[in-house]
Structure 1
Amino acid sequence: MADIHRTRTIAAGIGDIWGVLADFGSINSWAENVDHSCILFSGPDEGPVGTARRVQVKRDTIVERITEFDPPHVLAYDIEGLG
């Protein structure tokens, strides 16, 4: 398994950015290449860790599952279906 880390600088407050990123099922509202996204299921006890979303990009579908969630600084997830 490969580890990918991406860092970006965005001219907005951390609360504004976190509000967008933490809305895990709505990546299609801000990621231009994503055609559709939805939550498949929530983590244990409705917590964020373990929550999975399906992401559709053209004919490709991937599943992303939250592995670490520490507001407002860390949102980490695994990606299944690349290849």
Structure 2
Amino acid sequence: MSTVAVTEFIEASIGDVWRLLTDLAARPRWLSTADQSETLTTGPFGPGTRWRECRERPDGELLVEEFLVTDCDPPHRLVLSSAGIGVDYRITWTLRTVRRRRRACTAVTVEQEAEATAAYGRLVGFLLGGLAARAVESALRRDLADLAHALGPTDTPAAA
């Protein structure tokens, strides 16, 4: 299993960050790589919520991903799972209120864990491990920067 984690300090309340992060209909408006989002379940956001996004990969090709909320502790923790080709992903968003320069802001950490589920996934992980980790880190930083931009001014991200 490989894990990549990134943290961004966002100058917005934890409640505002949580609301935007969990507003599935709004995702294509703030997430620069998401072209569309389709909610696949009904009811309030929480464990069991499932949606599909069409996202642009770094190489420009479109990728359809399906996400499932596996754990949710509003407004502090959100855990998603997504099945890939030969690899399953677990994405954990952790939000906490912190003080920076005498002002309250929200530290948002996103951690992605990848676990190979087939020989193909293990081979790719072995051959491209470091390169893949850097690509994942770059994608997570972009998603956090998009979230921060949608909520207002922010500082430079700090690696976790």
When the two structures are superposed, what TM-score results if normalisation uses the length of structure 1? 0.78
Aligned to 1:31: 31
How many Å apart are 1:22 and its aligned residue?
1.9
Structure with greater helix share of residues: 2
- Taking the aligned partners of 2:48 and 2:4, their CA distance within structure 1 comes to 19
Instruction: Give 1:32's aligned amino acid.
Output: S
Q: How does 1:1-83 map to 2 (within 5 A)?
A: 2-42=2-42, 48-58=46-56, 59-81=62-84
SS state at 1:26 partner: helix
Deviations 1:25-69 (A, max 9, x none): 432121101111111114xx7561011110101421010100111
User: For the aligned residues, what is the CA RMSD?
Assistant: 2.3
- Taking the aligned partners of 2:15 and 2:55, their CA distance within structure 1 comes to 28
Instruction: Give 2:12's aligned amino acid.
Output: A
Instruction: Give 1:66's aligned amino acid.
Output: V
Q: Which of the pair has the greater relative contact order for Cα pairs under 8 Å at 6+ separation?
A: 2
Instruction: Give 2:49's aligned amino acid.
Output: T
SS state at 2:40 partner: strand
From the CA coordinates, give the structure whose radius of gyration is larger: 2
When the two structures are superposed, what TM-score results if normalisation uses the length of structure 2? 0.44
Q: Percent identity?
A: 31
Please say if residues 22 and 45 of structure 2, whose CA atoms lie closer than 8 Å, have aligned partners that are also in contact: no
Structure with greater strand share of residues: 2
